[in-house]
Homo-oligomer: A and B are copies of this chain.
């Protein structure tokens, strides 16, 4: 019944969940920096002070959105690779899923990558994003005869290239009509090209392994 009315009031309903949904809506419409608790409250028909019963502050809510977004991202990256037959195809599928997520769920993508969260303040975020690297590292390992250094180098290159395709697609660089599928397809092709030319990728220094950013440039 919750979906019946447009201006549903959440008095005594599950305001916490409703705030998360509304946050995603607002981020999709105006970007993550323009998101405000005040506007979310207005849209839900509650007082601007109500969210503070469920979230310590604005950043706390955005961190919760980012955690949810991580789950969706990981599902997207792993789902697309379910039917892959070769490791190279699995890697390309992971890249395609990553890009598809970026363009089809831009708000969630921004929640993960586009906000200025103080990540040390939200350790659950680091935990939520951990499985992501496995989706790239697993196939890369199979492609590299279990050489972990070569696999890490390839996985980083592929994930980074997928990231670029998602961002470029968001910028509109792949046009407007059919841009989603085009960007997704190009990310897959680029991945296969990286695989084919992977001998040009020397090992990363110090066993770096696609870690979640721990210390982003402060802002």
Contact = CB atoms under 8 A, between A and B. Distances in A.
Interface of A: 29-31, 33-34, 106, 113, 116, 153, 156-157, 159-165, 167-168, 170-176, 178, 182, 186, 189-190, 192-202, 204-205, 208, 210-217, 219
Given A34-B33, A167-B163, A216-B172, A157 B193 contact: yes
A213 B173 contact: yes
Nearest to A33: B33
A193 B210 CA distance: 19
7 contacts: A30-B219, A160-B161, A160-B190, A163-B168, A164-B165, A173-B210, A175-B211
Given A157-B161, A176-B215, A190-B201, 5 more contacts: A31-B33, A160-B190, A172-B214, A172-B216, A193-B193
Contacts of A190: 157, 160-161, 194, 201
A170 B175 CA distance: 25
Residue among A30, A173, A192, A205 with max Cβ neighbours from chain B (10 Å): A173
Contacts of A176: 214-215
Given A192-B200, A195-B197, A197-B192, A157 B186 contact: yes
A113 B171 contact: yes
A211 B173 contact: yes
A26 B106 CA distance: 26
Residue among A31, A161, A163, A171 with max Cβ neighbours from chain B (10 Å): A161
Nearest to A194: B193
B205 A170 contact: no
Contacts of A201: 189-190, 193
A199 B160 CA distance: 20
Nearest to A168: B160
